[in-house]
């Protein structure tokens, strides 16, 4: 044994001397990028000790250990992986509080997990009728490894399975989990996104270590082609490639001339959201310098995983994220973010590839795996109906509602429901199972105004008339948005405010959206006289989303009514301002953080419309108390497990009315939408737009469907009083339900509403008001 150790030391010594001599003989300066005259040879090897350190920190390295927990065991076979099954979570937790931890003000000795698990917040959630707590992002950020700490919003660029310092450690999380279990509350978190950050795995891939290059969509560029790559400040700072450079690299067979997502006709995003970037010259594990071209999403600090690489490295990493969050940490709801994978397919510049490939395949696979470990999955990417439809059959349990969003937000902003009516009719005509949708209030990611479904119809509609109608509606919507933003753009205390619109996304909060509709372009422009109307508009939007089947998510910023940050809060000039930070202002949910001006990461506190949550609970007319009554009613009626049935005709352009079939009992599951759906007309052709199921002989329609009650929701998104007449017996099914019991009416404030009529419901709605009417056997036992 001693001889073996001595021999080992001698071998390391010889290698050290040889390596030193080699480095002295072959020392070569790395030329500036773009210098084609110098041929590079082995200069020096990457430090083996640092490589070993990176591997211990890497996602791919940790994924092997996670796989060993499941491989060879029966853990993957204890629960079915398909079909999607939303019923359980809708029964246990139909309404959720969504918290972005980096915007939550906490004391230094109490991380985010500690505050969210505190008894004070537990009592607040219980009184608010919120039964789930969703926290994202929670993983370590690539910002900690980056050269440029201001490259982009922190948090979305996850690079590790472990929790970030901002949220806390495993002990704090376990205490939060136990407190949630004791309160019968579910927890949810995101798994690793498909567009990560630049962390240990990327550094190893760029050094050409084993299978790490297969983890990302990256291509080694030969030295002879370095002249085509852009200059970079340092070897790790990625620089985006211009399209002409991409075409030149494509002629060399290195890159495809175009990706499906790069095409102007690509319909998942209103503007190009990614591209190719290049690194500097990086010394690899073998001592050779390399430059890489890699695919990114958003900005070059977020490289995209390669789902279809033969090494299967990306699949291993995402699978390991599921094992960690769902299998080991007991997260009930797992969020999936696959931005960057949609349209990640080579395509000719004049042709569009498959819209969702390989993102759809990844979503289906990850959704199945999450169900195997006992969790529910939520695909958080906003997608058009053409992509949602295959996912509704076999994909994740819940999909982000891109049908009524941003249509509902635009209705609040403009007082016109044309877009909202069009989108709701489109969903009804396709038989969308509304229980599978997650209706979230505007939060930290802003409001996506890409309108992909309208863009889809404008190029792929079955008739020229439908294509023209979709194109005209999309153009009208975007024009109205820009006109409102430009009209509200005011000169602030330090200069003219930039528009809160970037990359097809409107960056504002729910309260900020209502303020914007009233002409207040920034928090300083909000007057005391506006506050009651902001609260009313905020409640209307929440009511519309909460009174639909599926999940409902309200953000922590909604509870206090945060307004968007202004550029002078975080930048020296408007030119340096990243508008995506506007809706990430800091706030506190408990008394302990009330006096702190910013978060531990330096995010300043946002101005708020409402007082602290505990103070609101003492005011029966406050936003939070009204929201609590609304959510309690939603749970009692089991709206989440119902089925969107149809839309009524309305008299005013700012009105909207629809019906939801309620499940017959506490444990019953509503009929799938497909059993009720039929053809509907396009907006503008008159009539009520209802999914229909006709009577056959004397057989009872309500007996066939098992439905004996329905919820009728009537909303006034305009800022003037309107009168509406709704035919509650518009179909045989509704007529029979109407005969089974009395009507119960309530307003969006959660209070009892006064209605007139029985078969013909006559309503007077104030500006930004909504009224719900339960017909049939309302059933207090539900």
DSSP 118-181: SHHHHHHHHHTT--EEEE---EEEGGGT-S-TTSS-TTSSEEEEEEPTTT--HHHHHHHHHHHH
Question: How many angstroms separate the first and last alpha carbons of the chain?
Answer: 74
Structure token digits, residue 129: 């009728």
Provide the pLDDT for residue 549.
97
Q: Coil, helix or strand for 505?
A: strand
What count of residues does the chain have?
Answer: 782
The neighbouring-strand residues paired with 506 are 447, 501
C-alpha dihedral, 200 to 202 to 206 to 210, nearest 10°:
70
Exposed / middle / buried, residue 100 (Cβ in 10 Å: 0-12, 13-18, 19+): buried
C-alpha 710/C-alpha 357 separation (Å) is: 39
Pairing of strands 274-278, 289-297: antiparallel
Q: Which residue has the tokens 């075409």?
A: 247
726 by Cβ neighbours in 10 Å (0-12 / 13-18 / 19+) ranks as buried
User: What is the model's pLDDT at position 673?
Assistant: 26
Give dist(CA 207, CA 288) in Å, integer: 9
The answer to whether residues 768 and 540 touch, using CB atoms and an 8 Å cutoff, is yes
Positive or negative: CA dihedral 359, 325, 153, 309: negative
pLDDT (0 to 100) of residue 36: 36
**Which residues of the chain carry a pLDDT beneath 70?**
1-45, 108, 146-155, 263-272, 348-355, 490-494, 592-595, 665-706, 750-752, 754, 756, 778-782
**Strands 643-647 vs 689-690: parallel, antiparallel or unpaired:** antiparallel
> If we measure between CA atoms, which residue out of 424, 380, 378 comes closest to residue 404?
424
Q: What 3-state DSSP class applies to 264?
A: coil
Q: Are 228 and 141 in contact (CB under 8 A)?
A: no
Whole-number pLDDT of residue 671: 29
300 close to 306: Cβ distance less than 8 angstroms = no
Pairing outcome for strands 655-661 and 643-647:
antiparallel
Sheet holding 501-502, edge to edge: 447-448, 505-506, 501-502
The pair of three-digit structure tokens given for residue 55, joined into one six-digit string? 């591997």
């Amino acid at each position: 044994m001693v001889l073996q150790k001595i021999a080992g030391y001698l071998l390391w010594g010889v290698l050290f001397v040889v390596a030193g001599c080699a480095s002295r003989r072959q020392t070569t300066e790395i030329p500036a990028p773009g210098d084609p005259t110098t041929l590079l040879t082995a200069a020096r090897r990457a430090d083996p000790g640092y490589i070993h350190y990176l591997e211990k920190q890497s996602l791919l390295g940790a994924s092997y250990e996670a796989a060993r927990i499941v491989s060879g065991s029966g853990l993957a076979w204890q629960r079915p992986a398909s079909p999607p099954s939303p019923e359980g979570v809708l029964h246990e937790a139909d309404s959720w509080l969504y918290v972005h931890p980096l915007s939550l003000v906490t004391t230094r000795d109490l991380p985010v997990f500690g505050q969210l698990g505190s008894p004070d917040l537990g009592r607040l959630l219980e009184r608010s009728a919120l039964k789930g707590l969703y926290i994202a992002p929670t993983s370590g950020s690539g910002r900690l490894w980056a050269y440029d700490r201001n490259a982009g919003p922190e948090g979305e660029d996850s690079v590790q399975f472990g929790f970030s310092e901002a949220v806390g450690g495993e002990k704090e999380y376990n205490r939060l989990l136990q407190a949630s279990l004791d309160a019968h509350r579910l927890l949810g978190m995101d798994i690793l996104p498909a567009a990560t950050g630049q962390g240990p795995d990327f550094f190893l891939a760029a050094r050409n270590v084993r299978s790490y290059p297969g983890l990302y969509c990256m291509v080694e560029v030969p030295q002879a082609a370095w002249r085509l790559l852009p200059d970079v400040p340092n070897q790790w700072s990625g620089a985006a490639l211009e399209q002409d450079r991409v075409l030149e690299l494509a002629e060399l067979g290195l890159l495809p001339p175009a990706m499906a997502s790069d095409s102007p006709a690509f319909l998942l995003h209103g503007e190009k959201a990614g591209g190719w970037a290049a690194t500097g010259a990086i010394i690899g594990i073998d001592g050779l310098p390399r430059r890489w071209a890699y695919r990114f999403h958003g900005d070059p600090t977020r490289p995209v995983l390669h789902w279809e690489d033969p090494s299967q490295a990306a699949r291993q990493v995402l699978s390991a994220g599921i094992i960690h969050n769902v299998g080991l940490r007991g997260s009930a709801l797992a969020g999936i973010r696959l931005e960057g994978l949609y349209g990640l397919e080579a395509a000719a510049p004049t042709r569009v590839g498959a819209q969702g490939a390989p993102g759809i395949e990844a979503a289906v696979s990850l959704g199945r795996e999450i169900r195997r470990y006992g969790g529910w999955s939520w695909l958080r990417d906003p997608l058009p109906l053409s992509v949602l439809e295959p996912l509704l059959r076999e994909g994740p349990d819940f999909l982000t509602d891109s049908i009524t969003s941003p249509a509902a937000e635009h209705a609040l902003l403009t007082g016109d429901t044309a877009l909202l009516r069009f989108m709701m009719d489109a969903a009804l005509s396709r038989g969308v199972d509304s229980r599978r949708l997650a209706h979230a209030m505007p939060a930290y990611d802003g409001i996506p105004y890409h309108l992909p479904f309208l863009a889809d119809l404008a190029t792929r509609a079955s008739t020229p008339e439908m294509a023209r109608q979709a194109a005209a509606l999309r153009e009208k919507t975007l024009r109205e948005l820009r006109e409102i933003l430009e009209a509200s753009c005011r000169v602030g205390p330090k200069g003219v405010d930039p528009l809160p619109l970037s990359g097809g996304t409107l960056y504002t909060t729910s309260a900020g959206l209502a303020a914007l509709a009233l002409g207040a372009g920034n928090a300083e422009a909000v007057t005391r006289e506006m506050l009651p109307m902001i609260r009313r508009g905020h409640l209307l939007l929440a009511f519309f989303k909460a009174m639909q089947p599926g999940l409902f998510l309200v953000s922590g910023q909604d509870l206090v009514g945060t307004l968007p940050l202004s550029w002078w809060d975080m930048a020296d000039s408007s030119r340096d301002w990243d508008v995506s930070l506007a809706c990430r202002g800091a706030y506190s949910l408990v008394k302990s953080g009330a006096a702190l001006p910013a978060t531990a990461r330096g995010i300043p506190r946002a101005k708020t419309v409402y007082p602290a949550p505990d103070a609101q609970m003492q005011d029966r007319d406050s936003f939070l108390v009204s929201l609590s009554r609304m959510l309690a009613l939603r749970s009692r009626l089991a709206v989440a497990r119902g089925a969107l049935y149809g839309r009524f005709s309305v008299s005013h352009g700012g009105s909207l009315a629809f019906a939801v079939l309620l499940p017959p009992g506490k444990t019953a599951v509503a009929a799938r939408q497909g059993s009720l759906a039929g053809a509907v007309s396009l907006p503008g052709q008159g009539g009520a737009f209802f999914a229909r199921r006709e009577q056959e002989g004397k057989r009872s329609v309500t007996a066939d469907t098992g439905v004996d009650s329905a919820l009728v929701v009537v909303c006034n998104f305009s800022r003037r009083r309107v009168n509406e007449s709704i035919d509650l017996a518009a179909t045989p099914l509704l007529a029979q339900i109407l005969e089974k019991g009395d009507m119960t009416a309530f307003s969006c404030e959660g209070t009892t509403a006064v209605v007139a009529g029985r078969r013909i419901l006559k309503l007077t709605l104030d500006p930004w008001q909504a009224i719900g009417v339960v017909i049939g056997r309302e059933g207090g036992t539900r």
